[in-house]
Amino acid sequence: METKITGRVWKYGDDVNTDVIFPGKYTYSISDPKEMAQHALEDLDPTFVANVQPGDIIVAGKNWGCGSSREQAVVCLKEAGVGAIVAHSFARIYFRNCINHALPIVTCDAADGVESGQEITIDFAAGTVTTPAGEYTFPPLSPEVMAILNAGGLIPHVRQQLNIE
Amino acid sequence: MGQTFVEKVLARRAGLDSVVPGQIVTVRPDKLLTHDNTAAISRQFRKIGVDRVADPNMNVIVLDHVTPAANETYATNHKITREFVAEQGISAFYDIGEGICHQVLPEKGHAWPGAVIVGSDSHTPTYGAFGAFSAGIGRTEAAAVMATGQIWLRVPESLRIVVSGKLPAQVSAKDVILHIIGDLRADGANYCSVELTGETIRHMSVASRMVLTNMAAEMGAKNSVVEPDDKTHAWLQGRVMNGYEEIHADPDATYERVIEYDVSGLLPQVARPHTVDNVVAVKELADTPINQALIGTCTNGRLEDLEAAADILRGQHIASNVRLLVLPASREVLLAAIERGIVSDLVTAGATLLNPGCGPCLGAHEGCMAPGEVTISTANRNFKGRMGSKEALIYLGSPATVAASALTGVITDPREV
């Protein structure tokens, strides 16, 4: 995992649920991640898919990813190029799904200091998010979670655990 | 020092004397639930590179989300699932028509007090109604559990919700949990283990307790639990074949928060679009026109729910401009409802009876909405776009409220019909 990333921000509010990140009507009909990416945030922000750039960062309020356990709500954003998600808080299944797909997540209040289109820098080693309005700190992830992120996600992590080449 | 339910169950399963919130433990679940997403999970499982699931007896697979298959893509998913079941020698497989996973799993004896259950569905906390620890996980994680037979879990903080007071007529478990979610909000129990207790819950049926634990997911709970009692044992009798040991929180356990509710004066509640915590009394929305009414889902598709609707609709007919969809939660519920004449009452009153399953709740088939339409539903989610068009509106209420609304064509307090 990169220790420091800088990206352009897409800012959203509180309680953004998985239905608006990836609509339920596609959950059993789309299995190609590239096709999933074409529907990312479809019912929340129709401008997102056409304008997202690799390395962009989503910054949100509280309870990002509440609702369904659908993993496509993580995969569609990762495949669309999103480099990290920063939120005041995450719904727990969404949090695990991000770790399992090695999509870096940061729990802090950076949404208070940035608007859509501006740039922020996340320093994972230092535990800081630098916004135009100042610096925000976040606690380190647990060693168990870092091991999964550093392996590149849960599947490579389990392969390592099971000694599968 | 006393321990909460979740601290006890996770410590025991991790082989430790005690655990504290925030600690990470690795446990072997008793059961792993997967549903229509088993096809996708099997693809992730194969990427891991093992040939056989760690323990075929751990797997419970229920096809329920889009059943029968609505098109070739869904049919192919189901076929891949059936082939995986046969290849892996999984005996607890329930094909289309058996019902919704959260109803079928306990009906078939796969949930019991003290059990540890994980499932690739966000409403997996439902089994807490039987005194189990149960939590939702994602697809890749389910594949990893299949491969390793293990999962890491963070020991959550615990909330204790104490509900007291006798429920007024036509006010049910759904109104109680909507009221609580409206109060605590969509993230009010984020990451927490929610213990539900108090005289009101002790007086509730097992089916009503399932409404509470099912919807605890809508305030962010990791798991939710009701203490098992004689009603639990009676319900499980003849279903669970293995022995089990109940786990109860210690009286001196430490909670992040203890919250008390007196529901003796509670009014019928409804959640407005587009969030579950947007809750008001039904009477505040009176006369809001509806196009569709839905009675069913893993929240409210059980016999007592269909009966509550039939009690309102018997001998009458729904409004001419309303479509009423009824989906029993399982084959067992459907058969009981047929036997008691409830199906006849509902269909005569104008209901369209659908097969046991998730139906239109996730917007894939069997009653999706057009732009501008309004549904009142007994489901657990009213997110924008969930039942079809993002320009449609979903209200959530109890079976009695939904039935009363179907009767009049506008959102209606069930005490007024």
Query: What is the tens place of the pLDDT at every residue in B141-194?
Result: 999 999 999 999 999 999 999 999 999 999 999 999 999 999 999 999 999 999
Q: What is the mean pLDDT of residues B290-294?
A: 98
Q: What is the mean pLDDT of residues B285-306?
A: 97
Q: Does B291 touch chain A (CB under 8 A)?
A: no
User: B21-154 — its CATH code?
Assistant: 3.30.499.10
pLDDT score, position B230: 98
Same fold, B21-154 and B270-416: yes
Question: Where do the domains of chain B lie?
Answer: 21-154, 156-238+247-266, 270-416
Indicate yes or no: CB of B122 within 8 angstroms of CB of A93.
yes
May I ask the CATH architecture of the domain B156-238+247-266? 3-Layer(aba) Sandwich (3.40)
The sheet with strand A4-11 has its strands ordered as A105-107, A84-87, A57-60, A4-11, A119-123, A128-131, A134-137
Render B249-287 in DSSP notation, one character per residue. Answer: --TTB--SEEEEEE-TTPPPEEEPTT-TT-EEEGGGGTT
Q: Hey, of B33, B140, B146, B219, which one would you mutate to test binding to chain A, going by the most A CBs within 10 A of its CB?
A: B140
Across chain B, how many H-helices and E-strands are there?
14, 18
User: What is the rounded radius of gyration, in angstroms, for the C-alpha atoms of chain B?
Assistant: 21
Give yes or no for residue B1 having a pLDDT over 90.
no
Indicate yes or no: CB of B187 within 8 angstroms of CB of A28.
no
Task: For residue A136, give how far its alpha carbon lies from the nearest alpha carbon of chain B (Å).
Answer: 22
A164 contacts in chain B (CB < 8 Å): 48-50
Task: For residue B417, give how far its alpha carbon lies from the nearest alpha carbon of chain A (Å).
Answer: 33
Half-sphere exposure of B365 (CA within 13 A, CB side): 18
Cβ distance B225 to B246 under 8 Å? no
d(CA B156, CA A82): 29
Residue A135 exposed, middle or buried by CB count within 10 Å (0-12, 13-18, 19+): middle
Task: For residue A66, give how far its alpha carbon lies from the nearest alpha carbon of chain B (Å).
Answer: 7
Closest chain A residue to the Cα of B64, Cα to Cα = A28
pLDDT score, position B265: 98
Task: For residue A30, give how far its alpha carbon lies from the nearest alpha carbon of chain B (Å).
Answer: 9
- Closest by Cβ to A69, choosing from B48, B50, B122: B122
Give yes or no for residue A165 having a pLDDT over 80.
no
Extract the runs of DSSP E, i.e. beta strands, from B12-115.
Answer: 24-27, 31-34, 59-62, 93-94
Give yes or no for residue B104 having a pLDDT over 80.
yes
Instruction: Pick B270-416's CATH classification: 1.10.10.10, 3.30.565.10, 3.30.499.10, 3.50.50.60.
Output: 3.30.499.10
Residue B275 exposed, middle or buried by CB count within 10 Å (0-12, 13-18, 19+): buried
Indicate yes or no: CB of B50 within 8 angstroms of CB of A164.
yes
Give yes or no for residue B295 having a pLDDT over 80.
yes
B119-154 per-position pLDDT tens digit:
999 999 999 999 999 999 999 999 999 999 999 999
Cβ distance B207 to B172 under 8 Å? no
Closest chain A residue to the Cα of B54, Cα to Cα = A162
Cβ distance A106 to A129 under 8 Å? yes
Give yes or no for residue B384 having a pLDDT over 90.
yes
Q: What is the mean pLDDT of residues B78-85?
A: 98
ipTM surpassing 0.85, yes or no? Answer: yes
Amino acid at A55: G
Structure tokens at A128: 């800081």
Q: Where are the alpha helices (DSSP H) in A28-115?
A: 33-37, 48-51, 72-80, 92-100
Q: Does B76 touch chain A (CB under 8 A)?
A: no
Cβ distance B153 to B25 under 8 Å? yes
pLDDT score, position A27: 87
Q: Does B167 touch chain A (CB under 8 A)?
A: no
User: Which positions 67-86 of A are in contact with B (Cβ < 8 Å)?
Assistant: 67-71, 74
Share above pLDDT 70 across residues of chain B, in percent, rounded to a whole number: 100
d(CA A141, CA B79): 40
Task: For residue B120, give how far its alpha carbon lies from the nearest alpha carbon of chain A (Å).
Answer: 7
Share above pLDDT 70 across residues of chain A, in percent, rounded to a whole number: 100
pLDDT score, position A1: 73
Domain architecture of chain A: domains with CATH: 4-138 (3.20.19.10)
Specify which residues B152 forms β-bridges with: B26
Give yes or no for residue B225 having a pLDDT over 90.
yes
Closest chain B residue to the Cα of A93, Cα to Cα = B137
Q: Does A91 touch chain B (CB under 8 A)?
A: yes
- Closest by Cβ to A63, choosing from B49, B77, B190: B190
Q: Does B359 touch chain A (CB under 8 A)?
A: no
A100 contacts in chain B (CB < 8 Å): 138, 140-141, 144
Give yes or no for residue A77 having a pLDDT over 90.
yes
Angle at B9 between CA B20 and CA B182, to 5 degrees: 80
pLDDT score, position A3: 87
pLDDT score, position A94: 97
Confidence tier at B377 by pLDDT (50, 70, 90): very high
Cβ distance B128 to B177 under 8 Å? no
CA-based nearest residue to B115, from B96, B103, B128, B105: B128
The sheet with strand B351-353 has its strands ordered as B279-281, B269-271, B393-396, B374-377, B292-295, B323-326, B351-353
Confidence tier at B351 by pLDDT (50, 70, 90): very high
